[in-house]
Amino acid sequence: MAKGNIEGFDDAVAAAEALDDGLFHMTPKHVFSTQNNPMCGITLPQWTSVLWTHGRLIEWRYVPRAVFLTFSSIFTGLLGLIEVLWYPYYVIDAEPLPEDPVFIIGHPRTGTTLLHNLLAADTRTFYHCTTFCAGFPSCFLWFERWGKWLFSGAIAPTRPMDSMPLHFDLPQEDECATTVLSHGASYYLALAFMAQETRFRKFLTLAAEDGATPADEARWTSAFLFLVKKLTLRGRLQAPDAPRRRLLLKSPIHTARVPLLRKLFPKASFIYLHRDPYKVLQSSAHMADTAFWYIYLNTPTDAQVTEYTLWQFERMWAVYNQSATGSATTGADRSVSADILEVPYADLVTQPMDVLQRIYTHAGVEWSPAVVATFKGEVAALAGYKVNSFVELPPALRSEIQRRAAGYFRAFGYPQ
């Protein structure tokens, strides 16, 4: 890569909450922006499905954004049609699924992107979903080379919520691609329709107890496995003579889907990152107030965004912990399943080489001199890494976080 995967990495400064009303507060912005929208690569059939189901929820102020997505979906749909002719479905379907992918999981803002970018730098060992693949999943097999130039204006040079570099070659969350490939069968669609976030909650876990049906699970699974096969084909085409590589995937939402992912990939390895809940939730609220405004198709209240942030954290932790331990226990002596490695965010930032070696051992990957050499340059960039500057939370909000994240505090020993 021309640039290191973590060059210029910087965390954001969270703003102070002036009111003690138990809420995170947002400031409307970017209403007419068409940048940084993960649905910019949606095709017309996919967009039509979303509009048919949720179009009446779009507010008038966001009609220009919806019109932009409509026109872009027509163009992207044509690109996707060419890809179908070039790489017919039967070609992709014939691609074998990887046996032992590595999943990076953890709540949003726990360092999953940092770890993803570090591991993806080892291209001898891993192949991954890039930002272009995530943004344009229907046409990346044939159009990636030209698309990265043509659509360069679709994303900013850095992420809205921090100074993390953003360009089409960097690793990206695969769930962005699955959202459009599944015609909206994803909890990520709540980022567009946040005022109705509760109706998408079933897609977080895809479990019956959250209201998901077998058809919901099948829609998501079909789209996800289709993406995995496309990524595998892409990796093979790019390096036909390379030794077998492992698929590396990262989406925080997968934290709530470990049971399903185990069913799909029994030999998968999971790397779970955890961090001080106060910082996680404060940083998540900052992300909502900076990045989500580029995606909204209607405007949520502060109460709705706060509840989304807290409920997602609470539900993801409950499902993950049950999957990791086989019970609801949250004591410090909890025993975690052998396919999961839990990593503190603080260790990743202060002892990155040690953490990376632990991950390689856990995943059964050789920690060779070539691997060490690959990571030395990436890790050197962490010397200038700036960790979030957090402010003191108001008592009411702090108390609510203590209540909603009580088990997480206990499990990892974070002070309340």
For residue 380, what pLDDT is reported?
84
Q: Which residues pair with 331 in a beta bridge?
A: none
Cα–Cα distances in Å, from 243 out to 63, 141, 369? 49, 21, 17
Question: What's the pLDDT at 331?
Answer: 82
Tokens of 248: 């590396």
> What is the predicted pLDDT for the residue at 21?
87
What does pTM read for this prediction?
Answer: 0.94
Q: Which two tokens stand for residue 101?
A: 């992918």
Q: Are 409 and 33 in contact (CB under 8 A)?
A: no
Instruction: List Cα–Cα distances, 9 to 6, 56, 114, 378, in angstroms.
Output: 5, 39, 8, 11
| CA distances (Å), origin 62, targets 146, 155, 229, 285 | 29, 19, 35, 22
Is 14 strand, coil or helix?
Answer: coil
Q: Are 313 and 405 in contact (CB under 8 A)?
A: yes
- What is the radius of gyration, based on Cα positions, of the chain? 20
User: Long-range contacts made by residues 24-30, C-beta under 8 angstroms, separation at least 24?
Assistant: 24/282, 24/285, 24/288, 24/289, 24/302, 24/305, 24/306, 24/309, 24/397, 25/289, 25/302, 26/288, 26/289, 26/300, 26/302, 26/305, 27/289, 28/293, 28/299, 29/293, 30/293, 30/294
d(CA 8, CA 11): 10
Residue range 44-412, CATH number: 3.40.50.300
What is the structure's pLDDT at 1? 37
What is the mean pLDDT for each group of 10 consecutive residues in the chain (416 residues)? 50 60 93 94 98 97 97 97 97 97 97 95 96 97 96 87 85 97 98 98 97 98 98 95 93 98 98 97 94 97 98 98 92 92 96 97 96 90 67 91 97 95
What confidence score (pLDDT) does residue 18 get? Answer: 60
CA distances from 32 to 61, 176, 192, 225 (A): 8, 21, 14, 34
Q: Which amino acid is at 124?
A: R
Environment class of 4 (CB within 10 Å of its CB; exposed 0-12, middle 13-18, buried 19+):
middle
Q: Rounded distance, CA 194 to CA 191, Å?
A: 5
What is the pLDDT at residue 2?
39
